[in-house]
Amino acid sequence: MSSNHEGYPTSLGVSTVDTISLMGRDLSADLIGKVDFGDLAYQLITLREPTAGQAAMFNAVLVALADHGFTPTAIAARLTWLSAPDAIQGALAAGLLGGGSRFLGVSEDTGTFLADALAVVDGQVPTDDIGWDALATSAIQQRRKAGGFVPGLGHHLHKNGDPRVARLLALAQEHGTYGPHLALFAAMGRVAPDVLGKRLPLNGAGACGAVLADLDVPLPMLRGVVLLARCAGLLGQLAEEMRTPIASRIFTQVEAAAEYLPIDHDGPTQA
């Protein structure tokens, strides 16, 4: 390298006239046809090859989060495609941009909440359910005392329990990736009704955040993994919109139901 300029270091992709390498391996000879996309995504994020268990759970999270029906993000993508069918990237981006504290961001919020609670014990994690329940109770109480929202609890639809949670917990046990984040998350589900005075079941997005944290995915990357999964779901939504359009009906119904609300400069206008 010439001494009169600085290089731009990367451990990811590097190309020459004749070759393409990725993470130090030949893309064509060593990766294409030999590594599935989920494994590759994990490696790109962590720069480590996943164990069999880590690969299985990372892929399980991608499947669990790919699609959840007509969510706001799916509707946003479909409506954007209705407006600009010549630019699918805009429709896809519209859906991804909706990932926040209510939809798609819960996994990151839960993972961070769990990690913060575990940081308090400084590696001295509980050894039984009684200890985990006590830690979960303390974490929830402190968050509520501070006026904050406890992520990973409750679901707008699955009031009787999110069907993804039990499956992810069982898979993590099966694949040997059930770590402290999932243990604390499970404890949250046990103690939350008593601590909060109401039943808020664990949700799948929170479970996915706990799984990813136990897979050593960096916390700032958790929402990115969720968006990676939802990207596939949004592509499915857009493909279906092309086959069986509904966005025009949504637009027409909302437009037809619009009601003008007179402006009251003296105070709030009552409907």
Digit-coded pLDDT (tens) for 200-235: 899 999 999 999 999 999 999 999 999 999 999 999
pLDDT tens per residue, range 2-30: 556 689 999 999 999 999 999 999 999 99
Question: Is 231 part of any domain?
Answer: no
192 found inside a domain: yes
197 phi-psi bin (left φ>0, alpha ψ -120 to 50, beta other): left
| Statement to judge: residues 121 and 213 lie in one domain | yes
Q: Whole domain around residue 154: which residue ranges?
A: 106-219
| Percent share of the chain, pLDDT over 70 | 94
Contact 223, 52 (CB under 8 A): no
Domain-located, residue 55 = no
CATH number of the domain within which 111 lies: 1.10.230.10
Pair (33, 126) in one structural domain: no
Look up the pTM and report it. Answer: 0.89
Q: What is the separation, in whole angstroms, between the first and last Cα of the chain?
A: 70
Q: Which residue among 176, 202, 219 closes a domain?
A: 219
pLDDT average, residue stretch 121-139: 93
Domain assignment present for residue 20? The answer is: yes
Domain count, the chain: 2
In a shared domain, residues 209 and 121: yes
User: Are 30 and 112 within one domain?
Assistant: no
Residue 77 lies in a domain: no
Residue 60 lies in a domain: no
**DSSP summary character for residue 27:** I
Residue 3, in any domain of the structure = no
Residue 252 lies in a domain: no
What's the average model confidence in pLDDT over 245-267? 93
Where b means 16+ CB within 10 Å and e means fewer, 58-75 reads: bbbbbebbbbbeebebbb
